[in-house]
Structure 1
Amino acid sequence: MERRIPVSVYADDPITRAGLATELRQRAELELVDSLPRGGSAQVVVFALDALTVPALDAIRSVRSRDGAQAVLVVSALSDDELLTVVESGACAVLWRWEATATSLTQAVIRAASGNAALPSDLLTRLLKQVGRLQQHVLRPQGLTLSGLSDRERRVLRLAADGFGTTEIAGELAYSKRTVASVLHDVTVRYQLRNRTHAVAFAIREGLI
């Protein structure tokens, strides 16, 4: 039997928290563990928010930096500034509340547990514009571009942009999962990008994949 993924829930209100906990508890792939702040054993934390508050962002950063867990955000709305803040905070995936069925949420948790990022298509489009503005003001004055991508890096990023997870990319390209993870890590570090989502968005924005 495959190991179940330990998942915790953070929500603005007790009704939402109880509802999500009930749904996730019924999924055979998941194991519900204590909610924050006692959720240090969680591999993935689901954040269901009415608004992107400072305490919520602090909690997302905390589970990433302190606990090494992945964060999945379920939210009703995000401004452009908030979207970039979410990416900067280290959230691995975003789901709109009206699309967050038990199945889609479980899939997002499973992908997040493997380190795979996911954004709704409309948010990805908005992120591209934000990243473009950011790169013009931050990276380009330093002379940094993505023109130095290798063929292998481009292949990996193209599949990541198509929604492939690490395991799927490895199978498609006949690489090991470690190689795929290393490629994505190298690109984000080399070009001062924030995470996998940021790397994919910037590569698309530059027309390189």
Structure 2
Amino acid sequence: AGSGGAPGGRVSVAVYAEDLILQTGMIHQLRVRPEIELLPEAEADRAQVSLVVVDMVDEPTVQLLHRLQRNTSTRTGLVVGFFESGALQTMIECGVAAVLRRGEADQDRLVHLVRAM
């Protein structure tokens, strides 16, 4: 079992997005789900799951993933527009637990991703 806690329990989630549009969209998808507890930025350090939402894996994304990897209390999921084959190794090295393409990121898939970690 992942960090999802007890079956039926809520999973605390922090969202990190590269722009306000991505951030707002992700929060809109997740906030209505009873299984998810969205944390404000000030409480992000206590998140069981950190969702990073980006168009592509670039250097600032890698830096963020490394920072989250050092926070041992969180599992990191990546929602990405597209990535090159070489980026997969980078994601693994950064401790990413799950990856979902943005084009496939509907509400149910996002919740499944969070709970699977």
TM-score computed with the length of structure 1 as normaliser:
0.50
- 1:26 maps to what in 2? 32
Quote the Cα distance in structure 2 between the aligned partners of 1:106 and 1:25: 11
Amino acid paired to 1:76: G
The structure carrying a bigger helix percent of its residues is 1
Quote the Cα distance in structure 2 between the aligned partners of 1:34 and 1:63: 16
Quote the Cα distance in structure 1 between the aligned partners of 2:61 and 2:74: 15
Moved over 2 A (4+): none
Flag the structure with larger Rg. 1
Equivalent residue pairs, number? 111
Shift of the 96–72 alpha-carbon distance from structure 1 to 2, 3 Å rule, reads: same
8 Å Cα contact 2:75/2:96 also seen in 1: yes
Q: Paired residue for 2:83, among 63, 78, 82?
A: 78
Report the CA distance between 1:56 and its aligned residue. 1.6
Amino acid paired to 1:74: V
Amino acid paired to 1:21: I
**1:133-184 deviation digits (Å, cap 9, x = unpaired):** xxxxxxxxxxxxxxxxxxxxxxxxxxxxxxxxxxxxxxxxxxxxxxxxxxxx
Report the CA distance between 1:68 and its aligned residue. 2.4
Structure 2 residue runs of 5 or longer lacking an equivalent are 1-6
Q: Percent identity?
A: 31
Q: Paired residue for 2:66, among 42, 61, 68?
A: 61
TM-score computed with the length of structure 2 as normaliser:
0.86
The structure carrying a bigger strand percent of its residues is 2
- 1:92 maps to what in 2? 97
Question: RMSD between aligned alpha carbons?
Answer: 1.7
Secondary structure, counterpart of 2:96 in structure 1? coil
Greater relative contact order (Cα 8 A, min sep 6): structure 1 or 2?
2
